[in-house]
């Protein structure tokens, strides 16, 4: 239901500010891109505030700037963000928290994949060549950063593994894109839940059938066929992220039930995000939650568990 509180002047100010934000994404994409990552959340909150069909009309209006050649790239980026925002709004209004994150993430991957196919066709290079070139640039940036952050022994070991990193980046390209945008959409979801209390991320649980993809991914990684191994590794990364987010919800409920203050919570979250072993443990909680329903056990007194 639209939150129509406030006088007309306030509503006009909100609409104007949102419209300017949309136009800036199209016309000044590089400058606006850091803020543009929260566009799906901004659209959702805007749509809840402004009545009737105004949100969609205002959000679509900047797309007319695509007729100007100088703004065609910005309009393309904005179109992808807008469709992602519309999908998130649609699924959240229908209680589909998982789909609100997954559907836009796969949409963006399809958009990126189509762009790569088009670039490959126009340039005459193979897709593998394009991805290898991109991976080399990423590895080059990693090398620059490592030179000032690692000791001489660590730096030597890191440089020895650069070629392996580059191959893995090419292999895991699909899951890197999907997972990266899933993180962005999850951040948008958290912003929305700060304002819309009816949406509870802490209660979200992935469908039980996701376990089948986890098992399938594990089997594929054991095969000797390179293509199937690549599919298995990408599936493993994507499904692992699903269970990691579910595990974070379990950790959050655990701390809620014990009323831990923010000064304890935030260091724990940071520790989880920077330690790969902690991330694996949290993802493990998410995986086994399929059978054990940890949140129910956390909220149930020990004497009542049967």
Q: Which residue has the tokens 């974070």?
A: 248
Given a contact cutoff of 8 angstroms between Cβ atoms, the answer to whether 166 and 214 are in contact is no
- Higher pLDDT pick, 123 / 27: 27
C-alpha closest to that of 91 among 77, 106, 79: 106
Q: How do residues 206-226 score in pLDDT, each as one tens digit?
A: 999 999 999 999 999 988 888
What does each C-alpha distance from 179 to 49, 240, 241 come to in angstroms?
30, 10, 7
Split at pLDDT 50, 70, 90, the class of 150 is low
Q: Which residue has the tokens 């060549």?
A: 129
CA angle 286, 291, 296 (to 5 degrees): 75
Q: What is the pLDDT of residue 303?
A: 44
Q: How do residues 63-100 score in pLDDT, each as one tens digit?
A: 998 888 889 889 999 999 999 999 999 999 888 899 99
**3-class SS of residue 125:** coil
Q: What is the pLDDT of residue 154?
A: 66
pLDDT exceeds cutoff 70 at 149: no
Q: Compute the distance between CA of residue 220 and CA of residue 217 in angstroms, rounded to an integer.
A: 5
Split at pLDDT 50, 70, 90, the class of 239 is very high
Q: How do residues 159-169 score in pLDDT, each as one tens digit?
A: 777 778 888 88
Given a contact cutoff of 8 angstroms between Cβ atoms, the answer to whether 220 and 235 are in contact is yes
Q: What is the pLDDT of residue 4?
A: 46
Given a contact cutoff of 8 angstroms between Cβ atoms, the answer to whether 69 and 154 are in contact is no
C-alpha closest to that of 186 among 290, 92, 262: 92
């Amino acid at each position: 239901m639209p939150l129509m509180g406030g006088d007309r002047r306030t509503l006009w100010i909100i609409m104007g500010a949102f419209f300017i934000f949309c136009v800036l994404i199209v016309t000044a994409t590089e400058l606006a891109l850091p803020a543009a990552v929260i566009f799906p959340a901004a659209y959702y909150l805007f749509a809840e505030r402004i009545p009737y069909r105004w949100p969609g009309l205002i959000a679509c209006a900047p797309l007319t700037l695509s007729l100007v050649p100088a703004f065609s790239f910005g309009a393309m980026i904005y179109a992808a963000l807008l469709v992602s925002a519309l999908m998130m709004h649609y699924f959240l209004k229908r209680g589909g928290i998982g789909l609100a994150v997954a559907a836009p993430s796969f949409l963006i991957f399809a958009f990126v994949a189509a762009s790569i196919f088009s670039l490959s066709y126009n340039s005459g290079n193979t897709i593998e060549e394009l991805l290898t070139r991109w991976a080399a640039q990423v590895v080059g940036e990693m090398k620059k950063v490592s030179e000032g952050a690692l000791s001489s022994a660590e730096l030597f070991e890191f440089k020895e593994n650069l070629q392996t990193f580059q191959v893995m980046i090419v292999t895991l390209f699909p899951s890197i894109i999907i997972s990266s945008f899933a993180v962005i959409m999850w951040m948008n979801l958290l912003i929305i839940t700060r304002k819309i209390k009816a949406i509870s991320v802490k209660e979200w649980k992935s469908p039980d059938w996701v376990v089948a993809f986890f098992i399938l991914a594990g089997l594929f990684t054991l095969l000797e066929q390179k293509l199937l191994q690549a599919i298995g590794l990408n599936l493993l990364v994507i499904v692992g992220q699903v269970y990691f987010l579910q595990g974070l919800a379990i950790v959050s409920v655990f701390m809620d039930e014990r009323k831990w203050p923010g000064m304890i919570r935030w260091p724990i979250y940071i520790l989880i995000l920077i330690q790969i072993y902690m991330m694996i443990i949290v993802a493990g909680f998410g995986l086994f939650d399929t059978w054990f329903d940890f949140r129910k056990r956390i909220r149930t007194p020990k004497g009542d568990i049967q």
